[in-house]
């Protein structure tokens, strides 16, 4: 890792044409602030990214933050450390041992005797991957699948680099065929339709006859269709009992309904026990609130 | 002693010998021996004839209708699992409907566990409160469309080929119900179960064969019985019990269908193990048959001018009423006659003769039993109880007389706890 004396960095930057007028430099020197940035010398790690968001190499580049502002900062890199793609992820270690990450993009660089001096700004693909909406799966309303915005390989490379930590956020039951989200209901065992009508049965005590209540009902009274006894009184002459459920679609009749899944994507119906349990995986990261905070870590 | 007995016997007049023989004919054992011996000899001759002249091998099981086995019970959680296990896998087109009639034990849980293990084969229906066996059977019957319905008691185990055996007679479209053989599973527990073991073999395994041949079989026992489902629908299912198995069988006969017997469809059931439990069971069984059903509810079937009259049904009623009702009272009259007879009353030889001839009749009845038996070694051991069987039969005859009398006078079967009180209160009293 390249270590740079903070006073020499300040001296170099004073000589540089790239940074503001001399008067403000003098003012900043007295307060360690230059162009609204804190002058510092904080060792950092930087992960180079590819254009599609993958970590180019799990081995970080050593860097030193020489000045930090809210949305931009200056870095000093080794001679051979200039990344191929301008997107970076900065990793800054805190005094209590945590590592904070921020996505940056290289805006300019200068090759000098002691290495490469570059300007970075917060943003780029790294910052987009680190954003919360990129780390928590959301329901895709076209396919009804929980998805993350980037390819799995992106998250895997970030996890391997130790930036993202894989976390199981929830478990959901999905269709075994297409892995899409399904709705569940108690439905017909035969066709899986939720359009079932519950039939009530009646048990006539005197003759032990059992049939659906509809068979007992006549225009004027309740009458046992077996023994023809009329004017039946519930509780005294007969009792109501739970009967079968009859499917309006296929006509199947059964006492017990089955918990059935209906896939919102492919429309297939399946018994709940045949649904596939899918883990909703998210990623956790500790983000650097502002690039200006890097100065406090020195 | 033998000389004395011989002298006493040879000095009897023909009237006195006839009186002794009359008493024996009133007991079940000696009566069975005659009918079963004739049937056995007939089958033996037919068997020889068939083996000599028939060249076509017999196809054992050629009829395979769809079957629904209905297992209905109250607080039978402990035995239900074994009953279901004995059914599953023994027949290809079988469904099992378990009905828990408001049990307090874990019967419903056991049933549901099997239903979840065997979806599409086992179904469990549970009612929150008790409604009686008949309505529970009727509930089960509404949940099937199978051609044949088989009722099995929740504490009975079926032999592996029992369903195959019981469905074969349904090839004949005139057969409406099929009775099966109920055997005692715990027959070697003690003397009580041993006697019952031999009694079941004689009265069901062989006795029902004879009754079925004569077309006077009135019952397909609730422990294992097969019914043509369309007839159950036509008849409105089972009527309120007790004796619902006898009742439904008689009603099937009433509409012109035959009741036959599948001799080798075995169901192994648990018999009472104490005399008290046995007497209680028989008091429940005996009263409702000849009095409640034959003499009251279905007596019109035996009247020649009634539209449901059939000769075979009349003989069935005569058989039931004579042997199950009148013979009991005949035995009481006979005992009084013996006691009043000046020469027989003081003589132990009279009772000795009666008992020895009864035992000889039991021995004769063992011949057909052994002829038909497929497990002769087991049945031969069970048959060793024969010397005490006349005494056992006398005891049961006493229970029968008591039950019949209670039914005639007080209609005792309508106060049986077998039927829930709210059902008993509103059902018709025949």
What are the pLDDT digits (tens) for B299-331?
Answer: 999 889 988 899 999 999 998 999 889 999 999
Stretch 208-237 of chain B: residues touching chain A, C-beta under 8 Å: 236-237
- pLDDT score for A12: 40
DSSP code, position A272: G
Which superfamily is assigned to B67-301 in CATH?
Answer: Spore Coat Polysaccharide Biosynthesis Protein SpsA; Chain A (3.90.550.10)
Across chain B, mean pLDDT equals: 90
Under a CB-based contact definition with an 8 Å cutoff, are residues B271 and B182 in contact?
no
Q: Which residues pair with B99 in a beta bridge?
A: B72, B125
Cis peptide before B242 (omega within 30 of 0): yes
What pLDDT digit, counting tens, does each position of B159-195 carry? 999 999 999 999 999 999 999 999 999 999 999 999 9
Can you tell me the mean pLDDT for B213-228?
Answer: 94
Can you tell me the mean pLDDT for B146-150?
Answer: 96
Choose the weakest-confidence range: A138-152, B25-39, B251-265. Answer: B25-39
Decide which of B21 and B148 is more confident.
B148
- pLDDT score for B345: 65
Q: Assess B131–A contact: CB distance below 8 Å, yes or no.
A: yes
Please report which confidence band the pLDDT of residue B82 belongs to, taking 50, 70 and 90 as the band edges: very high
Burial level of B217, CB count in 10 A (0-12/13-18/19+)?
A: buried
Rounded Cα gap, residues B197 and B187, in angstroms:
5
Chain B residues close to A206, C-beta within 8 Å = 240, 423, 426-428
**Inter-chain touch B426–A201, beta carbons under 8 Å:** no
Element (H, E) at A95: none
Domain assignments of chain B as residue spans, ordered by start: 67-301
Residue B430, both tokens: 């025949």
Choose the weakest-confidence range: B40-54, B339-353, B385-399. Answer: B339-353
Sign of CA dihedral B138, B144, B150, B156: negative
The partner residue sitting opposite B143, judged by closest CB among A211, A241, A255, is: A255
Decide which of B2 and B399 is more confident.
B399
Please report which confidence band the pLDDT of residue B353 belongs to, taking 50, 70 and 90 as the band edges: confident
- pLDDT score for B59: 66
Choose the weakest-confidence range: A62-71, B11-20, B310-319. Answer: B11-20
Against a cut of 0.80, is the pTM above it? Answer: no
Can you tell me the mean pLDDT for A129-139?
Answer: 94
Please report which confidence band the pLDDT of residue B57 belongs to, taking 50, 70 and 90 as the band edges: low
Chain B residues close to A237, C-beta within 8 Å = 426
Of A147, A136, A135, A137, nearest in space to A179 by CA: A147
- pLDDT score for B340: 84
Rounded Cα gap, residues B101 and B320, in angstroms:
31
Q: Is the pLDDT score of B346 beyond 80? A: no
**Inter-chain touch A244–B139, beta carbons under 8 Å:** no
With tokens 């979840």, the residue in question is B116
Rounded Cα gap, residues B144 and B350, in angstroms:
59
Q: Which residues contact B292 (CB under 8 A, 6 or more apart)?
A: B243, B407, B411, B413, B430
- pLDDT score for B128: 85
3-class SS of residue B12: coil
What pLDDT digit, counting tens, does each position of B258-289 carry? 999 999 999 999 999 999 999 999 988 887 88
Q: Is the pLDDT score of A36 beyond 90? A: no
- pLDDT score for A1: 35
With tokens 């002249």, the residue in question is B53
> Percent of chain A scored above 90 by pLDDT?
54
Q: Is the pLDDT score of A31 beyond 70? A: no
Q: Which residues of A touch B (CB under 8 A)?
A: 201, 203, 205-211, 225-227, 236-237, 239, 241, 243-244, 255-256
The residue among B135, B141, B234 with the most chain A CBs within 10 A of its CB, best to mutate, is B135
Q: How close does chain B come to A171, measured CA to CA in Å?
A: 25
Q: Which residues contact B145 (CB under 8 A, 6 or more apart)?
A: B66, B229
Please report which confidence band the pLDDT of residue B91 belongs to, taking 50, 70 and 90 as the band edges: very high
3-class SS of residue A226: coil
Under a CB-based contact definition with an 8 Å cutoff, are residues B94 and B64 in contact?
no
Q: Assess B423–A contact: CB distance below 8 Å, yes or no.
A: yes
Of B70, B31, B66, B422, nearest in space to B245 by CA: B70
**Inter-chain touch B239–A207, beta carbons under 8 Å:** yes
The partner residue sitting opposite B240, judged by closest CB among A201, A208, A256, is: A208
What pLDDT digit, counting tens, does each position of A245-270 carry? 888 888 887 777 889 999 999 999 99
**Inter-chain touch B123–A210, beta carbons under 8 Å:** no
Q: How close does chain A come to B110, measured CA to CA in Å?
A: 16
Q: Is the pLDDT score of A24 beyond 70? A: no
The partner residue sitting opposite B131, judged by closest CB among A203, A237, A255, is: A203
- pLDDT score for A21: 45
Q: Is the pLDDT score of B81 beyond 90? A: yes
Q: How close does chain A come to B233, measured CA to CA in Å?
A: 10
The partner residue sitting opposite A208, judged by closest CB among B132, B142, B143, is: B132
Q: How close does chain B come to A148, measured CA to CA in Å?
A: 38
- pLDDT score for A126: 92
Q: Assess B290–A contact: CB distance below 8 Å, yes or no.
A: no
Element (H, E) at A184: strand A182-187
Please report which confidence band the pLDDT of residue B9 belongs to, taking 50, 70 and 90 as the band edges: confident
What pLDDT digit, counting tens, does each position of A168-186 carry? 999 999 999 999 999 999 9
Please report which confidence band the pLDDT of residue A5 belongs to, taking 50, 70 and 90 as the band edges: very low
Q: With a cut of 0.90, is the ipTM above it?
A: no
């Amino acid at each position: 890792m390249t270590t740079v004396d903070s006073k020499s960095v300040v001296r170099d930057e004073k000589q540089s044409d790239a940074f503001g007028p001399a008067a403000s430099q003098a003012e900043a020197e007295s307060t360690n602030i230059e162009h609204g940035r804190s002058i510092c010398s904080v060792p950092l790690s930087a992960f180079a990214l590819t254009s599609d968001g993958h970590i180019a190499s799990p081995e970080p580049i050593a860097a030193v933050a020489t000045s930090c502002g809210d949305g931009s900062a200056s870095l000093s890199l080794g001679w051979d450390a200039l990344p191929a793609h301008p997107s970076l992820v900065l990793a800054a270690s805190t005094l209590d041992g945590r590592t904070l990450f921020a996505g940056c993009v290289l805006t300019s660089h200068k090759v000098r005797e002691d290495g490469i001096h570059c300007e970075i700004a917060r943003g780029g693909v790294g910052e987009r991957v680190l954003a919360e909406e990129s780390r928590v799966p959301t329901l895709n309303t076209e396919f009804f699948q929980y998805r993350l915005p980037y390819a799995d390989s992106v998250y895997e490379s970030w996890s391997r680099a130790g930036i993202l930590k894989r976390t199981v956020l929830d478990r959901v039951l999905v269709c075994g065929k297409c892995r899409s989200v399904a709705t569940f209901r108690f439905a017909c065992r035969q066709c899986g339709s939720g359009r079932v009508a519950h039939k009530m049965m009646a048990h006539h005590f005197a003759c032990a006859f059992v049939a659906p209540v509809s068979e007992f009902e006549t225009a004027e009274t309740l009458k046992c269709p077996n023994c023809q006894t009329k004017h039946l009184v519930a509780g005294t002459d007969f009792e109501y009992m739970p009967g079968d459920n009859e499917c309006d679609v296929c006509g199947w009749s059964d006492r017990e309904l089955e918990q059935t899944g209906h896939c919102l994507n492919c429309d297939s119906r399946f018994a709940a026990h045949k649904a596939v349990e899918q883990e909703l995986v998210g990623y956790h990261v500790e983000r650097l609130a502002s690039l200006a905070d890097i100065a406090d870590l020195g | 002693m033998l000389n004395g007995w011989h002298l006493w016997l040879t000095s009897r007049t023909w009237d006195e010998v006839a009186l002794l023989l009359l008493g024996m004919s009133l007991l079940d054992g000696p009566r069975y021996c005659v009918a079963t011996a004739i049937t056995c000899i007939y089958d033996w001759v037919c068997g020889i004839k068939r083996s000599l002249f028939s060249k076509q091998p017999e196809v054992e099981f050629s009829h395979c209708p769809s079957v629904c086995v209905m297992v209905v019970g109250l607080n039978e959680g402990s035995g239900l699992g074994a009953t279901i296990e004995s059914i599953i896998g023994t027949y290809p087109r079988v469904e099992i409907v378990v009905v828990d009639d408001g049990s307090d034990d874990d019967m419903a849980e056991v049933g549901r566990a099997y239903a979840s293990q065997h979806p599409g084969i086992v179904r469990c229906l549970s009612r929150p409160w008790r409604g009686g066996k008949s309505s529970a059977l009727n509930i089960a019957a509404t949940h099937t469309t199978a051609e044949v319905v088989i009722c099995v008691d929740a504490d009975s185990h079926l032999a592996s080929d029992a369903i195959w055996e019981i469905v074969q007679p349904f090839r004949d479209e005139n057969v409406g119900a099929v009775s099966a053989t109920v055997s005692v599973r715990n027959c070697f527990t003690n003397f009580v179960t041993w006697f019952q073991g031999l009694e079941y073999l004689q009265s069901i395994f062989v006795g029902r064969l004879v009754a079925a041949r004569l077309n006077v079989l009135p019952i397909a026992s609730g422990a294992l019985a097969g019914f043509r489902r369309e007839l159950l629908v036509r008849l409105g299912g089972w009527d309120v019990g007790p004796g619902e198995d006898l009742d439904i069988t008689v009603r099937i006969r009433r509409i012109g269908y035959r009741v036959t017997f599948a001799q080798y469809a075995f169901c192994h059931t648990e018999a009472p193990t104490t005399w008290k439990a046995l007497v209680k069971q028989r008091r429940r069984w005996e009263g409702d048959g000849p009095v409640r059903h034959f003499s009251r509810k279905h007596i019109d079937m035996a009247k020649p001018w009634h539209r449901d009259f059939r000769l075979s049904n009349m003989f069935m009623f005569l058989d039931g009423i004579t042997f199950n009702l009148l013979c009991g009272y005949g035995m009481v009259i006979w005992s009084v006659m013996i006691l009043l007879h000046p020469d027989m009353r003081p003589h132990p030889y009279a009772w000795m003769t009666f008992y020895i001839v009864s035992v000889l009749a039991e021995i004769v009845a063992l011949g057909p039993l052994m002829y038909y038996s497929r497990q002769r070694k087991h049945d031969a051991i069970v048959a060793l109880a024969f010397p005490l069987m006349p005494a056992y039969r006398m005891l049961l005859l006493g229970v029968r007389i008591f039950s019949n009398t209670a039914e005639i006078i007080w209609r005792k079967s309508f106060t049986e706890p077998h039927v829930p009180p709210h059902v008993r209160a509103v059902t018709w009293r025949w």
